[in-house]
Amino acid sequence: MRQETGNKTPAATSNRQSSIDTLQFVCDLVSCRDGSGEGSALKRIRICPDGEVASTKGDFIFDAESWRLIKKQFDAQAVAKVIDKEHQTLGGEYASPDGDARAYGWMETLEYVPGEGIFASVNWTQRGTELIRADEYRYLSPVIIVRKSDRKAVGLHSAGLTNTPAIPGMDRLAAKQMANDKESTMAEQPAEGVGQDPSMLVGELKSLLEITIEETDVVSVLKAVIEKVKALKGKGGEEKEDGEGGGDAVASSVRKALNLSADADADTVVVAINTLRAGTKNVETLRGELDALKVKDAKRDRDAFLQPYKNSGVLDEKDDAPFFQVICRTYAANPDDAKVLLEARAALLPASGRTTPPGDGPKPGGGDNEDKLIAKALTDHDGNTKAAYIALQGELIDKEVERTGHARGMAAQNLAPRFPKIFG
């Protein structure tokens, strides 16, 4: 085998670069169609552009201060932001007629790129992935909280799948466009003799790129293409004589990587690759189960937060369903805002003079310390029993969470035996 070193002629350098470009295109095209496939949902999405942002809902500004405030809120809440469909989780005018308000994805992490905007790492649900793959939804529309005084973005509530985003020029959600663009470029100069029969395409590809492996199935040929790209890029100035390709070495490397014997045939290789792909599907299943657990944990924390207000009669899920839904949506965006709304409503309710929440009388076990806490809370809230008990329960739960690190529901359960009058 003869290797040329030193300075290359312009023609040799041009030919080598042309081979690399051709092979790189093939690999890029394969990556768009592999596994997740053409039209697959992107995992990193730009949520909002940087600078002066035009919007049909009202122009606003997104800058470094916007990012700081949004990041602070996101870190404090420590939960993923929901991606719904057409902003249905907002309810009201956006509510679905059938009550559908499910999540189609979760914004797990946020990233700010100056000059470009805010990006989110998205974990799509199975239904969200299906909608994007089928091209039923192309864009994402963020729900941005804007400060009236200077039109500056200061919060991110959620985002929704849509086909009519309020912000012009939003990025597409699917990886499909890259493959389509490259296919269109190649279609302008079709390879002579290439037909629609897959076997003809594989043969043409092997001949065009001088791949010498014996296998003719698509998987083996594409593996050889990828190996040849790596070889051409990695060897710098080294070039091989015509007819001295590394097909046998490529086939051997593929078998070795799949932990197969040296004499394994093409069918065995295909089975091994399909097994790996099946394992990838199992990972997606586990991710789905993890998403379900996150939703369950979030609901448990929300219920624990709302229970004291239910006990005291401030919140009634059945008799006042619209207000209950507003509180649930507000809690999902910012628990502190939900607490402000509930305590404001409690303050508006007339004081009844009771010393315990409705439905239960005093219970033994609290002692003088508990009575003192109740008396102080009543004094602080001008004798308004409901407001006093809600505030006192919230304060004790906050301290217990800080002390033990438990979720709010568990903290409330721990406190109930020690303060039976307050949590009765």
CB-based contact 138:172 (threshold 8 Å): yes
**Closest C-alpha to 385, from 373, 395, 377:** 377
- Positive or negative: CA dihedral 146, 147, 153, 155: negative
DSSP lists the bridge partners of residue 141 as: 160
In the prediction, which pLDDT does 362 show? 37
- CB 152 within 8 Å of CB 166: no
Rounded distance between C-alpha atoms, residue 145 and residue 269, angstroms? 53
Tokens of 97: 């007629």
Alpha helices in 312-384 (DSSP H): 321-333, 335-348, 367-380
17: left (phi over 0), alpha (psi -120 to 50) or beta: alpha
What is the reported pLDDT for 69?
A: 95
Alpha helices, H only, 109-246: 126-133, 176-187, 198-208, 218-234
What pLDDT, on the 0 to 100 scale, is given for residue 249? 66
Query: Side-chain half-sphere of 12: how many Cα atoms within 13 Å?
Result: 15
What is the rounded radius of gyration, in angstroms, for the C-alpha atoms of the chain?
Answer: 31
What is the rounded distance in angstroms from the CA atom of residue 30 to the CA atom of residue 38? Answer: 9
Residue 346, token pair as written in the block: 């409690």
pLDDT attached to residue 279: 60
Q: Residues 56, 191: contact at Cβ < 8 Å?
A: no
**Computed from CA positions of residues 347, 352, 357, 362, in that sequence, does the dihedral angle turn out positive or negative?**
positive
Q: What is the pLDDT of residue 121?
A: 92
How far, in Å, are 88, 173, 178, 356 from residue 46 at the CA level? 21, 9, 17, 51
Q: What is the pLDDT of residue 54?
A: 93
Q: For each of the chain's 424 residues, which pLDDT tens digit applies?
A: 344 444 445 555 555 555 555 555 555 444 433 334 455 667 889 999 999 999 998 999 999 999 999 999 999 988 899 999 888 888 888 887 877 778 999 999 999 999 999 999 999 999 989 898 888 999 999 999 999 999 999 999 999 999 999 999 898 887 544 344 444 444 434 434 333 455 556 666 666 667 777 666 666 767 777 777 777 666 544 444 444 445 566 677 777 777 777 777 777 777 777 776 666 556 667 777 778 888 888 888 888 988 888 887 788 877 778 788 888 888 888 988 888 888 877 776 654 433 344 333 333 344 568 888 988 888 888 888 888 889 889 999 998 888 887 888 888 888 888 888 888 7
Q: 98-103 contacts: CB < 8 A, separation 24 or more?
A: 102/127, 103/128, 103/291, 103/295
Q: Residue 149: what pLDDT? A: 92
CB 154 within 8 A of CB 70: yes
- Contact, 86 vs 161, CB < 8 A? yes
pLDDT of residue 234: 62
